[in-house]
Structure 1
Amino acid sequence: MNAASVEAPLREIDDLPSPRGLPLLGNLHQLPPATHHLTLERWAAELGTPYVFRFATTPVTVWNDIELSHAVMRERPHRYRRYAPIENVLKEFGCNGLFSIEGAAWEPQRRLVMQALSIPHIKAFYPTLATITERLRRRWEAAARAGRVVDMTEDLKRFTVDATSALAFGEDPNTLENERVLIQEQLAMLLPMLMTRVNAPFAYWHYVKFPRDRKFDEAMIDVHRHIRELMARARVRMRDEAAVEACETPLGETARAPRNLLEAMLTLRDAPGSGITDDEVAANVLTMLVAGEETTATSIAWALLFLGTDDALQARVAAHARRVLDGSAVCPSYAAMRELDLCEAVCTEASRLHPVAPYLSFEPLEDVRLQGVRLPAGTKMFMLHRPAMMDPNNYANPESYNPGRWLHASAASERGAHEPRAYLQFGAGPRVCPGRHLAAVEMRLVVSMLTANFTAQLATNPADIHEVCTFTAVPSEMPMRLALR
């Protein structure tokens, strides 16, 4: 019995409550891909947790318990792994990198990525992040002067792709100033297709390709061609700079360390006996591009739903941002950025109400007993996030949007119940998201720049904006009108 187990009468999976399904199909017909996460949450409210539903004939257990979630994530990757279909599909995409890879291969890749996304590295990279933020400001200024409605989700994805590419690979694709950048359009196809194939009752694409599948396959060929070219250019730069340094570096001195994640991965890959292949490097490049684009952009986009419909909140954030920016259009330094707590808090609170990751999925690698339920190895487990974040025992007045609950300056008596452990948008345990600090910096930069320079108004009825689950839960739209301050 593992650390997460509790003493209870032993039950089997078939003993758990379950929504009524159909023979062979199970509950597939009740789970529309775009909104299935909402159905899972509704069943949790009706049936309690744990419960079980079925993907065709495959049982999937659903849980809602903070301590259990932390225990499972703490015992990765040795006792639990991510939902196996995710890794299987991403292998086919050539994208089985740090996010999905399991076993012994995970740890060396983790060290590389953590180094690239460390606080000292991001601090040194801050001037480039500020430059990319200024580029976004100019794009929004042009839209404001022209009276154009801005597709905020699209622009934020462009921003995060530029930032991630410059930080991790040393190349800035400048999607913000190049209106049509093919790599941006192609990357946008990956997570929706991942969701489709992970949730398919069988691997239909092995037997027949629909037009959408063929279009995706063609896009992935182009993406991987782009990544191999990126790797080739990095190797040329490293070779040329090594030759120069060999002439200029005094005997006994150490040559410069790799300057970004791609250089670090290539250095390790090219070392004798590394056991790492170009395919594994390419998979991590693609993983970084997709992860860096989607999650942070979506968190900021959800915050704009609240900023764009609450003039008083927007004025408060603007005053905070303008005080810190002190006349600059973009936060001028890393030290100043650290003062922008409210700008990060509006994003954190938005993703509490609209979690970007509505659940995480795992499988035990051995037979376990959890909360009195026997789970054979390989049992599918979905760990829901939102119910705990909407529990008044964890957060006071959980239905209300209150960024102040995340500010350290707020007195505990004012905040009421506040359980940070219930907020699992970056995961927990050994495989906590390595990009969480970069995400916080990007949130602070974008929200402070927006509110300090513009007034923003939602250009649609807020009730028309819905969650759409394309592996992450994104807003169906986020159109805004901007005006210069």
Structure 2
Amino acid sequence: MNTLTTATARTRRIADLPHPKGLPLIGNAHQLKPDRLHLILERWAQELGVPYRLQICGRPVVVTTDAELAQRMARERPHRYRRMRQLESVLEEIGCNGLFSAEGVAWEPNRRLVMQALSMPHIKAFFPTLNAITGRLRVRLARAASEGRTLDMTQELKRYTVDVTSALAFGEDPHTLEQERGVIQEHLALIMPMLMRRINAPFPYWRYVRLPQDRQVDRALVEIHRYVRRMMQRAREHMRDDPRETPRHLLEAMLTMCDAPGSSVTEDQVAANVLTLLLAGEDTTANALSWALFYVATDRALQQRLARHARRVLGESAVCPDFEWLKHFDLFEAVCTEAGRLRPVASISSFEPLEDVQLDNLFVPAGTTIFFVHRPAMLDPRHFANPERFDPDRWLHPRDAGGPHEPRACMLFGAGPRVCPGRYLAGVEMRLVLSMLLAGFEVELTVDPASIEEVTAFAMVPNVMPLRLRPRA
């Protein structure tokens, strides 16, 4: 029997799976702390084996760490699987139900548009702007280094990624790197933790009672939506004053689609996609870079190796000046990939079958939530040699790994038709930022590495990443 087929035989049911002990009525809801969710699910996978099940107020959840199974489910989206419905519902409430959470016929036209905007040819054409923004980040870091200040590097990198995403996708650079307060990134930073709380809440309390943290998010959303609508208005004015046959950026393309006769795309859908891209572009790449710097800062030999490599390629340049030079920085992206293997920013993926399915010998009814927990597969010695060791060279010379090397188990950008459209941009940002940073600065972590905790805030993020930079001689 195919591992992933419409159910024809019923060998095991979800109720037969092992499960952590819970309480009557609420099941395991009280044990699922939103900010530690990925750690809790990983621990139960070790204790119970996989697949196992949870019970959240009468709702069953199947949990697996099988990367091959996750690959197959990802390939069968969106016609057989979708993301969990709670995600779409919560994002719809805040006006952010864009490409990431859209399903069915609403997904495909948005997907084509965004994939084109974030394609490698478009990013190559955008490279001079990317270079300039990276140079501005360097100026900001150099100022902090000269003043001896400790930086929360995750927040610094989020400023950078907001500026990059806005300039590329919307034709506007908010210059958050040149400001200290009142930047859009401060409001965006509140959204991901809120999504994590609400998606995993057993009861939608916020629809009836607004807690202080909900009121804070409400205020942030007002500012974010005001920012998005102003950006859309300026784009329309630009299109009117300087009409072009070909849109200059993604926002103009979306507005053109919205204005086409008979179009089903609305202004609200355009705004939702703008907000989706802002959130995705700001959060995931910044945190991936932050985790990479964690390993660089705690490995002096690796840091020196990266610095020598960057200086050899860059020569007198502070920032990579030419798109073609990026091919010399494979090692820097390998550092980020290896950091992502050990500290996956996307630590949990959700699937929901649109019809009854058979997963191996497990019958799963339509509408059941399935969690795929990413890290265990990437720490499995059947997939990677010496899986606990941080070794970026495994991605450069897989044949020399001295054991297995299964890149399909490392789903950092997802898989299947809904693979992350921003993966090319993320790779370019990783190469640009790390090469600039290591060529010009020594990087030191100012706290005990063991004190840095993993937090589930939709993405898996460090609770803090305090780094001190010193100009490199």
> Do they fold alike, i.e. is TM over 0.5?
yes
The 3-state SS of whatever aligns with 2:281 is helix
Q: Distance in 2 between matches of 1:50 and 1:218?
A: 41
Aligned residue in 2 for 1:251: none
1:417 aligns with 2:404: yes
1:282-325 Cα offsets, whole Å, 9 max, x none, are 00000000000000000000011111111100000111111121
1:298-353 deviations in whole A, cap 9, x for unaligned? Answer: 00000111111111000001111111212200011100012100111111100100
Aligned 1:286-301 pairs, distance under 5 A: 286-301=275-290
1:342 maps to which residue? 331
* Structure 2 residue corresponding to 1:483, chosen from 466, 470, 473: 470
1:391 aligns with 2:380: yes
In the alignment, what sits opposite 2:111?
Answer: 110
- Structure 1 counterpart of 2:161: 160
Rounded to whole Å, the distance in 1 between the matches of 2:239 and 2:78 is 34
Counterpart mapping for 1:144-159 below 5 A: 144-159=145-160
Is the 2:98–2:276 Cα contact (8 Å) retained in structure 1?
Answer: yes
Structure 2 partner of 1:455: 442
Matched, 1:316 2:316: no
| Preserved CA contact (<8 Å) 1:7 1:372 | no
Q: Which residue in the other structure is 2:133 paired with? A: 132
Report the Cα distance in structure 2 between the residues aligned to 1:474 and 1:214, rounded to whole angstroms.
Answer: 23
Distance 2:8 2:150 in 1: 57
1:393 Cα shift? 1.0
Consecutive unaligned residues of structure 1, counting only runs of 5 or more, are: 243-254
User: Alpha-carbon deviations, 1:183-213, whole Å to 9, x = none?
Assistant: 1111111111111111111111111111111
- Report the Cα offset of residue 64 of structure 1: 1.5
Equivalence map 1:226-305=2 (5 Å): 226-242=227-243, 255-305=244-294
Task: Provide the C-alpha distance between the structure 2 equivalents of 1:151 and 1:92, rounded to a whole number of angstroms.
Answer: 31
Deviation at 1:56, TM superposition (A): 2.1
Which residue does the alignment assign to 1:198? Answer: 199
* 1:413, distance to aligned residue in structure 2 (A): 3.1
Q: Residues of 2 paired with 1:150 and 1:208: CA distance?
A: 37
Q: Structure 1 residues 9 and 94 mapped into 2: Cα distance closer, same or farther (>3 Å)?
A: closer
| SS of structure 2 residue aligned to 1:463 | helix
Counterpart for residue 395 of structure 2: 406
Counterparts in 2 of 1:464 and 1:241: CA distance versus 1, 3 Å: same
Q: Distance in 2 between matches of 1:273 and 1:131?
A: 40
Q: Does structure 1 retain, via aligned residues, the 8 Å contact 2:2–2:360?
A: no
Give the conservation status (yes or no) of the 8 Å contact 2:398–2:405.
Answer: no
Measure, in 1, the Cα distance between the counterparts of 2:417 and 2:24: 40
Q: Does the residue aligned with 1:340 lie in a helix, a strand or coil? A: helix
Aligned pairs, how many?
Answer: 471
CA contact (8 A) 2:385 2:401 kept: no
The whole-number CA distance in structure 2 between the counterparts of 1:470 and 1:70 is 24
> Residue 446 of structure 1: which of 420, 430, 433 is its match?
433
Kindly state the Cα deviation for residue 181 of structure 1 after the two structures are TM-superposed: 3.0
Deviation at 1:9, TM superposition (A): 6.7
Contact 1:3 1:71 survives alignment (8 Å): no
Q: Cα distance, 1:357 vs. partner? A: 0.9
State the secondary structure of the residue aligned to 2:4. Answer: coil
Contact 2:42–2:376, Cα closer than 8 Å, also in 1: yes
State how far apart, in whole Å, the 2-side matches of 1:469 and 1:441 are.
26
TM-score normalised according to structure 2 size:
0.98
Identity %: 61
Residue 245 (structure 1) aligns with: none
Give the superposition deviation at 1:414. 3.7
One-letter amino acid of the counterpart of residue 123, structure 2 = I
Q: Secondary structure at 1:427's aligned position in 2? A: coil
Q: Distance in 1 between matches of 2:310 and 2:183?
A: 34
Which whole-Å CA distance do the structure 1 matches of 2:401 and 2:103 have between them? 43
Moved over 3 A (4+): 5-9
Partner of 2:4: 4
- 2:388 & 2:182 partners in 1: Cα distance? 40
| Structure 2 contact 158–283 (Cα < 8 Å) conserved | yes
User: For residues 68 and 455 of structure 1, what CA distance do their matches in structure 2 show?
Assistant: 42
- What one-letter code is carried by the residue in structure 1 that aligns with 2:37? H
Corresponding residue for residue 57 of structure 1 = 58
Q: What is the identity, as a one-letter code, of the residue corresponding to 2:399? A: A
Aligned-pair Cα RMSD in Å: 1.4
Kindly indicate whether the alpha-carbon contact (under 8 Å) linking 2:10 and 2:363 is maintained by their aligned counterparts in 1.
Answer: no
The code of the aligned residue for 1:378 comes to G
Question: 1:8: Cα distance to partner?
Answer: 8.5
The alignment's TM-score, normalised by the length of structure 1, stands at: 0.95
Query: How far off its partner does 1:222 sit?
Result: 1.6
Rounded Cα–Cα distance in structure 1 between residues aligned with 2:37 and 2:253: 39
1:66·1:421 contact (CA, 8 Å) conserved in 2? yes
Classify the secondary structure of the residue corresponding to 1:339: helix
Inter-partner Cα distance in structure 2 for 1:182 and 1:412: 46
Partners of 1:272 and 1:127 lie apart in 2 by: 36
CA distance in 1, matches of 2:398, 2:428: 25
Secondary structure at the aligned position of 2:242 is classed as helix
Inter-partner Cα distance in structure 2 for 1:3 and 1:28 = 30
- The Cα of 1:472 is off from its aligned counterpart by 0.6
Contact 1:8 1:371 in 2 (8 A): no
